[in-house]
A = this chain, B = another copy of it.
């Protein structure tokens, strides 16, 4: 809970501008909406200037529509829906205008805003198969107002392909390195870059990749400094964090 809000509220109570009962109520009902099955969080959106996001997995199409409407009614201009299935997307389209990106299972209601930062977020993948995760990350960055440069299929087994983009690596303000299999991309990029590298292990691979475990462990054990890791296939989380860092220090 926001400490300044609480102080202000206490002062209002002290000055009689608001009653203790009303104050208590306010503390409870303001920051989110009770939909029964969900409690969309307005508080965070307002405080952080980042539009509320809907995680589509495990929600029914009906629930997604209801949450979207609640957000739009509160004045949110763009609604990002991640992990949205093809069928659910079609259902949502019956109720509102939705742009759907099938490969990354991203749905966007409203416009992608113009970039409001000078810094560039570089999104690199080890292989072609990592693209769905990469697009989830890239689109998240763009919805949150960032410029994105995409470099796909630049894995370390043909490391000259990566070095061809060394200028992009040196100039990025933050890098998202996405790879399955052995996940070595994060360490190599981390050693070349002087900006934060967000590593995203993917479930791409077979056998001893164990659903992404191999690249996850590889990235967590990176001997390169400046590298941190998000969950397997978590393109959204990487994009969100990258945007947060990209917005530091003015734009």
User: In the complex, which of the residues B4, B128, B182 contacts A59, with contact meaning CB atoms closer than 8 Å?
Assistant: B128
User: In the complex, which of the residues B38, B161, B222 contacts A157, with contact meaning CB atoms closer than 8 Å?
Assistant: B222
Q: Do the beta carbons of B207 and A157 come within 8 Å of each other?
A: no
Q: In the complex, what residues of B have CB within 8 A of residue A170's CB?
A: 2-4
The stretch from A29-37, A68-76, A84-92, A93-101 touching chain B is: A29-37
Q: Do the beta carbons of A221 and B152 come within 8 Å of each other?
A: no
Q: CB within 8 Å of B: which residues of A?
A: 1-4, 6-7, 10-11, 13-14, 16, 19-20, 23-24, 27-29, 31-32, 35-39, 41, 43-44, 47-48, 53, 55, 57-59, 63, 126-129, 131, 152-161, 163-164, 166-167, 170, 173, 180-184, 186-188, 190-192, 194-196, 198, 201, 203-234, 237-238, 240-241, 244-245, 248-250
- Can you name 8 A-B residue pairings with CB atoms under 8 Å? A3-B170, A13-B20, A28-B163, A38-B152, A58-B129, A182-B186, A182-B222, A184-B218
